[in-house]
């Protein structure tokens, strides 16, 4: 299974809705040994949008590019901001997250809402993904991927995960 790009997946009205709503940005953190600390492999700001019905509806339909992957109706959605002043990036990782018990993240999706002036490229399996603002890319959550450091400006993307039973 490979990444599927959906060109012009969202329109400017949706992008404006997400970018101009009230935000509660939180620094990306890591929990280790029961302690929460700023993450060094995920330098970004995040906001949980899992309960936003407008955003849920848009994300729901985009996951249909993988009709044969068994998922349930659960979704996690985050807004991510990578800033040059933070050397915003996300080192190579997988999204599967087996810590969810009987469920895991099965499908991952990124919708580019604003592009950095420089840097911030999404790579999946060490292959640069070319996205324009409004494009989405959907891929199995087990594929290794990263966001390269933003060196000028900022990159904002909407990231969503579709949950289901563990991969077999």
Q: Encode pLDDT of 72-98 as tens digits.
A: 989 999 999 999 988 888 889 898 887
Task: Work out the percent of the chain whose per-residue pLDDT is above 90.
Answer: 63
The pTM (predicted TM-score) of the whole model is: 0.90
Q: What is the 3-state secondary structure (H, E, C) of the chain?
A: CCCEEECCCCCHHHHHHHHHCCCCCEECEEEECCEEEECCCEECEEEECCCCHHHHHHHHHHHHHCCCCCCCCCEEEEEEEEEHHHCCEEEEECCCCHHHCCEEEEEEEEEEEECCCEECCEEECCEEECCCCCCEEEEECCCCEEECCEEECEEEEEEEEEEEECCC
Categorize the per-residue pLDDT at 25 as very low, low, confident or very high, splitting at 50, 70 and 90: confident
């Amino acid at each position: 299974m490979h990444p599927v790009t959906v060109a012009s997946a969202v329109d400017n009205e949706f992008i404006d809705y997400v970018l101009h709503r009230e935000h509660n940005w939180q620094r990306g953190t890591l929990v280790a040994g029961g302690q929460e600390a700023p993450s060094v492999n995920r330098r970004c700001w995040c906001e949980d949008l899992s309960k936003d019905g407008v955003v849920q509806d848009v994300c729901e339909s985009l996951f249909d590019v993988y009709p044969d992957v068994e998922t349930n109706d659960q979704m996690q959605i985050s807004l991510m901001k990578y800033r040059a002043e933070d050397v915003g990036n996300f080192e190579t990782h997988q999204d599967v997250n087996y810590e969810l018990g009987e469920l895991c993240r099965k499908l991952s999706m990124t919708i580019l809402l604003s592009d950095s002036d420089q840097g911030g490229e999404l790579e999946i399996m060490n292959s640069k993904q070319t996205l324009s603002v409004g494009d989405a890319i959907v891929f199995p959550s087990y594929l290794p991927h990263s966001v390269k450091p933003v060196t000028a400006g900022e990159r904002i993307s909407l990231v969503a995960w579709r949950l289901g039973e563990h991969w077999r």
